[in-house]
Copies of this chain bind each other. A is one copy, B any other.
Amino acid sequence: MKTTQNIDVTVDAIVFGYNKEIGVTVLLIKRKNDPFKGQWALPGGFVEPTESLELAVARELKEETGVKINYLEQLYTFGQPDRDPRKRIISVAYFGIVKSSQFKKLKAADDAEDAEWFKIKHLPALAFDHQKILKMAIDRLRSKMIYQPIGFELLDKKFPFSDLEHLYSTLLGRPIDRRNFRKKVMGLGILEELDEKAPSLGAGRPGNLFQFNKATYNQLVKEGMHFEI
């Protein structure tokens, strides 16, 4: 098979963020160049000849949006021959999460005219097959959250328990039983309760702060944990 393939390889990133007031959001850029100039799209771009795929994602994210991610995993590779009007382009999509604290720091640059967080409930029209890619990412986020505590990655390093509650009930789209949820999560032993109160928001009793113990979590995963909500 010595014929030239003439296939290009890109990476795309679906980066989720979370904020108590806004809910779950995804990071999009407005394209500066054709094709789909002026349209919203997933951040991403061509892989450099000598960099790994993961590096390419991190680089493109930094260049286009200024965001640094806290969690990254490969999602899926999209390779339909006609998915890009220019030529055949195969895109390896990555699924990323930024912590709440990193949430606002956006600065569009490079190929992007603009970068913004969009609520996953209210998305604009997207370029290429990015609608399909994003849908797959949202499905993955939902299903991963209910059997692995990646939800924790969306929160700050220290957070009040109610943030976790809100995150889960928002994303699952249904109310959760607060008592049972707390019992279940605490039962896993991967949350450490701190000796610190959350800043009061003007009303109501301030909660205690917690933090995620990643070491204990990794231990559990090895032993074959079972989470389920």
Interface residues of A (CB under 8 A from B): 1, 5-9, 45-53, 74, 76-77, 79-81, 88, 90, 92, 226, 228
- 11 pairs, A vs B, C-beta closer than 8 Å: A1-B45, A5-B46, A5-B49, A6-B49, A49-B88, A51-B81, A53-B79, A74-B77, A77-B77, A77-B92, A90-B92
Closest Cβ of chain B to A99, distance in Å, is 26
Q: Among A48, A74, A76, A77, find the residue whose CB has the most chain B CB atoms closer than 10 A.
A: A77
Q: A77-B74, A80-B52 are in contact. Are A7 and B47 (CB under 8 A)?
A: yes
Asked whether A79 lies within 8 Å of B50 as measured between CB atoms, the reply is no
Asked whether B53 lies within 8 Å of A77 as measured between CB atoms, the reply is yes
Chain A interface secondary structure, helix, strand, loop or mixed? loop
Asked whether A79 lies within 8 Å of B1 as measured between CB atoms, the reply is no
Residues from chain B with a CB closer than 8 A to the CB of A81 are 49-52
Residues from chain B with a CB closer than 8 A to the CB of A45 are 1
Cα-based distance from A93 to B90 in the complex (angstroms):
14
Asked whether B90 lies within 8 Å of A9 as measured between CB atoms, the reply is yes
Closest Cβ of chain B to A43, distance in Å, is 14
Query: Which chain B residue shows the least CB distance to A76?
Result: B74
